[in-house]
Amino acid sequence: MALAIGEEQIPADEDGLIKQLAALQVGIMMKRDPTRRGQHPKHHGCTDASFAIHDDIPDAYRIGLFKQPATYQAKVRWSNGGEIDDMKPDVHGMAIKVLGVKGMPALAGSDREEQDFVLIDSEAFFVPDVKMMLALMTARVKSAQDPQVMAEFAQNHKGIAAALGAAKKTLASPLTAQYWSTVPFKLGNGAVKYTAIASPDNQSGDVPATSADYLRTALGSALGAGATGARFQLCIVPQADPETNPVEDPTIPWKAEPIAVATLTIAPQAFDTPERMKEAEDLSFDPWHALAEHRPLGGINRARRAVYAASLSLRQSAAAV
């Protein structure tokens, strides 16, 4: 039978694969540093922001957080996907945490009054499903002892290797890039993906890409005393068709026209103090920190639920020792 808009299709063996994936992630973190994030460990800073819901959202999308105009306080963490050196091409993250959000949570029993939007500067994800994610991560782990393993994986999965290469880039500034969720989320009876579009007025700071931490410097240049700050439009990209806009394959971008639902405003601020940098390290961002109306969809999101929880539990346990 044909799938409906927003409908998931869960493989029979997925639960077992997700358990293996979570265990693999914990093993990687144990070998490296269990107090650090498993993904996006290097941050450029965490900034305060305001998150204003628009008053002209089409009626069909006035659901959950977007139901009525309101302005919330928010936090935004900027990061590299894996590289410590900003000069090396990488995936870059923009994770938004909207605070004081009331309503039924996506995770039963959660007491978090937060709505997180976890975004990267690539429109498409690099693997289609949990099975392929597990295969990729297994190859990466084995390649630490035998580099030929990863070379063989790339040869056997040329599309994934190409997608990984295309996702890695260098930035002038975290404030001038566009970011995407890549994976879908529920919105009422439908589904959407998210994108954050930088205002054309955002300034890069013109910081030369000549140091390992130049992206932090670029943030400071654009948000320091006398600067104008930055703005982003958070937009939804609705699922137009379940076949051409699949829920279960995030390697395929959805091409509907983005609809702006909120404005994120980042005022000039001193974000790079020791206290604020510790906040950037300590805050937990998770797509499952969400209202039920915005529940994550698709296999990669289902895997994230277990992997993020295992990662956070390990970090907290290691930090307590």
- Tens digits of residue pLDDT in 61-85: 999 999 999 999 999 999 999 999 9
What is the predicted pLDDT for the residue at 35?
87
Residue segments in the chain with a per-residue pLDDT below the cut of 50: none
Residue 317 lies in a domain: no
Residue 310 lies in a domain: no
What is the predicted pLDDT for the residue at 321?
67
Residue 262 lies in a domain: yes
What is the predicted pLDDT for the residue at 188?
86
Domain with 83 in it:
40-240+248-305
Reported residue count of the chain is 321
Residue 223 lies in a domain: yes
Residue 252 lies in a domain: yes
Residue 5 lies in a domain: no
Distances (CA, A) of 88 to 95, 134, 164: 21, 25, 14
Other C-beta atoms closer than 10 Å to the C-beta of 226 total 5
Rounded to two decimals, what is the model's pTM? 0.95
What is the predicted pLDDT for the residue at 152?
95
What tokens does 12 get? 């029979």
What tokens does 42 get? 């290097």
| Contact by Cβ (8 Å): 91, 167 | yes
Residue 152's Cα: distance from chain center in Å? 28
DSSP conformational letter for 321: -
Q: CATH no. for residue 91?
A: 2.40.180.10
What is the predicted pLDDT for the residue at 2?
81
What tokens does 282 get? 């300590």
Residue given tokens 């035998």 in the structure block:
146
Residue 32 lies in a domain: no
Residue 6 lies in a domain: no
What is the predicted pLDDT for the residue at 226?
86
What is the predicted pLDDT for the residue at 230?
97
- Number of compact structural domains in the chain: 1
Other C-beta atoms closer than 10 Å to the C-beta of 313 total 12
